[in-house]
Structure 1
Amino acid sequence: MAEYKIAVLVGSLRKGSHNQALARALEKLAAGKAAFSYVEIGDLPLYNQDFDKDYPSQGVRLKQQIRDADAVLFVTPEYNRSVPGVLKNAIDLGSRPYGDSAFAGKPAAVIGASIGVIGTALAQQHLRNILAYLDMPVLGQPEAFLHFKEGLIDEQGTISNEGTKDFLQGFVDTFIAWVGIHGGTH
């Protein structure tokens, strides 16, 4: 079985990001079934409708990475009860100008980690609303709001808690099946 190509957008730019660690852990759990391609969003200019006719090279690159993927995985923290601005900006750049969205029809999943006890529940709900508008079939279950504690996932993506590892394996396996159902080509 060939691997699906998954474009991964991590909504945190922070060195030592919990969500980057989570993405690496999911990548390990998907080994042999999916290849992750991390989309750089930290260098993107702020979206401005004025450049719709002459798109910036970073926006062109982002759109191509999304188009080359079978699906998109969004791994997001929660800032002020919503998605981080850098992630929203990446979505705006990848979906504009109107009629030229790289996201349309791409199967997607949403997950996130936070030190807060409700995880990233509100950010994920806001993100799901955005993705529904972009016409992305988004995995509904299992929802995964990871309460991140020190030592849960190391920099190499190793998960220390077996229950968490089993849960995340189920998430990855369900997402990969979702990609197959909703148009992933490999």
Structure 2
Amino acid sequence: MNNYLYAWQLEALSSWLRCGRTGIIEAVTGSGKTNVAIAAIQDARRRGLFVLVVVPSRVLMEQWTKRLVESLPDSRVGRLGDNFSDRSDDCDILVTTRHSASAKKPLPPGDMNGLIVADECHGFGGGILRKSLLHEYEERLGLTATLERSDDAVDKTLIPYFGGVCYRYDFLKAIEDGVCAQP
């Protein structure tokens, strides 16, 4: 599972696991947050959990779906939103947009526990979109490059829901590690 992860990604995954499989990974754009999330999803699927991946756009829904199908070929990956209407009962991993998650509230099937992965989680603090942060998921992973907003949603919504930032990886460290190029 971990042979394709950079050292920082292994550290981030380990930190998230130590935090009880909850938390936000704040890492510079292009550093590979998605790879950390896929490793967390692989862990969840090995334990038989349902996984909900919530993304901000249709384009990201397609990108995530492609990556998940490639990385977890034995898992059934569904989509909800933009003319897709898969249900959690019909798949192991459901990729959905924030708006569809807010409206449809896809829960883990039956009494199953689940992992929710929120890509670009800083955008989930708004009034309607915060409804996509479903409390039925006990394991929670937020991904963002910058956990900043102009309102109080970070402190009032995002930190309480995800349990805080479990790992930070900034631009200078990414350059030092050779993960990102110097500008």
| Range of TM-score over shorter length | 0.3 to 0.5
Structure number having the greater strand percentage: 2
TM-score by length of 2: 0.38
TM-score by length of 1: 0.38
